[in-house]
Structures are given as structure tokens and as C-alpha cells.
Amino acid sequence: MSPKTKNIVTLVAIISPFVLFALAGRFLINPWELPRQNKGQLLIPHIDIAALQANDGAGHLFDADDTQGMWSILYIADSECDTRCKNGLYYQIRQVRLALGEDIDRVRRVIVHTAPAADSLTEFLDDNVEGMISIDADLATVQGALEPVYSPNTSQPIGDIFLVSPDGQIFMRYPTHENMEATLEEAENIRLDLKRTLKGSLIG
């Protein structure tokens, strides 16, 4: 074997394992099955909060100007507040924000009313989740704006929780649950995602 041929064989022997590893990663591993850091459903592309066409009740459109400076936990509400609603508002929003410690002032809580609030919702908010920013929006408009989140299924945002960036981008979704164990697990998911986001962010 000539020196040139020997060098080629040596080079192939060195490179082959890396090529095989790359091919295995490309064709044998499903990238969607790899572990991800985020716990919630990451929305790609993000959705501009202005697309909800929500307002403050006085006709002012709630948009990126209103989310500046802070991150937001946003809840999509119906008129009534059942067990899933109460679990979401209390454990997945109120308690999660309190658990952020020194970062608590970097996060605001927003509730989007898609229908006039019934007594069950109003009383629960007043008694247990004071301080939420309330805005109003048309249900059909909200469903249309968030349709990509649920595709190919029907858009069903009522009862879901979303994270919103300081520049008004809705970027993460979490469901709410009737079951307490599932509720607490989801609350921890939100807390972990928020802590990671706040730690890596220079804004908000």
C-alpha cells in the first residue's frame, strides 16, 4: 500500500464514525421526540396580542404599548368560572407569580373576558385573584387570532393560559385542568418556563 493510499484509509477511518453518527441522528432520531427545555406549547410563529382586538372597556385597544416593560400571564375567560377556571386563575397564575420571588414585579396578570363576567367569576376574582388587568374581546375574534395554536383542530382558547412578552408577542400556551394533580404539575411547568425566560431576558 502506497503512503498516499495509506493516508486516505487512515482519514476515512477517522471520519467514518462521525459521518455514521450524523446519519443516525438525521434518519433514525425523530427531532420532535428529543427532550425540550420549554414545558408549555411554544407558539411558532408568535402571535401579536393586538390580533385579539381586546380593549380596556373604554375603547382603548390593548396592544404592545400596554405590555411594555413586563412579561404577562394571560387567561382567556368565559362568562362562568368552573373548577378548571378557578384552578387556573389561582394555582397556575396567582400562585405561580408569587413563587417567582424577586422576579414577581416583572410579571403582570391579564384576564381576557370574551363574555360579560357572571357572578361566579367576578366573586372569585375579587376574593382570590385581586389585581388582574381585565380586558374585553370578542370570542370569535380571539378564536380566529389563536387558530394556529390549535390547528388542525377547532380553536378552543377558553380556559387556556398564555405567556406574553414585553413586546406584545404571545409565545407559550398551557391548558388548565379540573384534576388537582394535573393543575399543580401545569403550574410548575409555567413557573419553570417563566423562571428560565426571566433569567435569560434583559427586558421586562
Report pLDDT for 58: 85
> Could you tell me if 56 and 14 lie in one domain?
no
Residues 20 and 79 in one domain: no
Q: How many domains does the chain have?
A: 2
In a domain, 204, yes or no: no
Same domain assignment for residues 27 and 113 = no
Query: In b/e form, how buried is each residue of 131-141, taking b as 16+ CB within 10 angstroms?
Result: ebeebbbebee
Assess if residue 137 is contained within a domain: yes
Longest dimension (CA), the chain: 89
pLDDT tens digit string along 75-126? Answer: 999 999 999 999 999 999 999 999 999 999 999 999 999 999 999 999 999 9
In DSSP terms, 77 is beta-bridged to 113
At residue 36 the predicted structure's pLDDT band, cuts being 50, 70 and 90, is low
| Stretch (H or E) spanning 140 | helix 139-145
Rounded Cα distance, 43 and 41, in Å: 6
Say if residues 119 and 84 touch (Cβ distance below 8 Å): no
Section 5-24 average pLDDT = 43
Question: What is the amino acid identity at position 201?
Answer: S
Side chain identity at residue 171, one-letter code? F
In sequence order, the 6+-apart residues with CB closer than 8 A to the CB of 56 are: 62, 135, 136
What CATH number does the domain containing 120 carry? 3.40.30.10
Do 194 and 106 belong to one domain? Answer: yes
Q: What is the per-residue pLDDT across 124-164, written as a single tens digit (0 to 9) for each?
A: 999 999 999 999 999 999 999 999 999 999 999 999 999 99
Domain membership of residue 14 as a residue range:
3-32
Would you mind telling me the total number of residues written for the chain in this entry?
204
R_g of the chain computed on alpha carbons: 23
